[in-house]
Homo-oligomer: A and B are copies of this chain.
């Protein structure tokens, strides 16, 4: 397709704009400061003023890049989860999904996991908040996980009647729920139990 060859150099030259280009350095400094602040004080202690102070970037510039504090916090922590809990595909969907649940629960029990939980929680109180999170946090990971499920179905490891998206909610929902119901993050042993329960519902050959 023409797209393949042309796409590479078609846009970039046209993207060259007239004025002073956006400072990647400023952007980086803001994100770093935001991560540091979230690490130290969580969402409750996160303020744009403080990010500006730490990063040396002016508030005006920050608000030019992110439409509000929540948007910035979400972006700053954007790839934390992905990095901390990468989606793996070893060929055994049951093992992969179960491990994924356990690793995610483990992450949410960590300091950064708590912050991510605060971010998830804050989303519904902000305009477009959950949409922002969907695009920033979940979109990519869900796509990869859905693919994992689909391949598991093709291999005959998972029930063929599963809706991949619903299955994701089904498997990981309990992990997130624990962040909000006052019982605290799932402990590793409990996470293992929950993962096993989930597997019983979706795997093909697991009747005890």
Which residues of chain A have a CB within 8 Å of any CB of chain B? 42-44, 114, 117-118, 120-126, 130-135, 137-138, 163, 165-167, 169-170, 172-184, 186, 190, 193-194, 197-198, 200-202, 206-208
Partner of A133, one of B44, B120, B134, B182: B182
The minimal Cβ–Cβ distance linking A185 to chain B, given in whole angstroms, is: 10
In the complex, what residue of chain B is closest to A58 when comparing beta carbons?
A: B19
The docked-state distance in angstroms from the alpha carbon of A42 to that of B125 is 8
Residues of B within 8 A of A122 (CB): 121-122, 125
Residues of B within 8 A of A194 (CB): 166, 169-170
The minimal Cβ–Cβ distance linking A64 to chain B, given in whole angstroms, is: 14
Partner of A180, one of B42, B176, B197: B176
Q: Please tell me if the beta carbons of A133 and B201 are within 8 angstroms of each other in the complex.
A: no
The minimal Cβ–Cβ distance linking A72 to chain B, given in whole angstroms, is: 16
Residues of B within 8 A of A130 (CB): 179-182, 184
Q: Please tell me if the beta carbons of B124 and A179 are within 8 angstroms of each other in the complex.
A: yes
Residues of B within 8 A of A126 (CB): 44
The minimal Cβ–Cβ distance linking A135 to chain B, given in whole angstroms, is: 8
20 A-B residue contacts at CB 8 Å? A43-B125, A44-B125, A44-B126, A117-B124, A118-B125, A121-B124, A121-B125, A124-B179, A131-B182, A134-B183, A135-B182, A167-B197, A169-B174, A169-B178, A173-B178, A176-B177, A200-B200, A200-B201, A201-B201, A206-B207
The docked-state distance in angstroms from the alpha carbon of A184 to that of B175 is 18
Residues of B within 8 A of A179 (CB): 124, 130
In the complex, what residue of chain B is closest to A138 when comparing beta carbons?
A: B181
The docked-state distance in angstroms from the alpha carbon of A120 to that of B122 is 9
Given contacts A124-B118, A201-B200, contact A169 B177 (CB under 8 A): yes
In the complex, what residue of chain B is closest to A167 when comparing beta carbons?
A: B197
The docked-state distance in angstroms from the alpha carbon of A125 to that of B183 is 15
The minimal Cβ–Cβ distance linking A177 to chain B, given in whole angstroms, is: 3
Q: Please tell me if the beta carbons of A181 and B169 are within 8 angstroms of each other in the complex.
A: yes
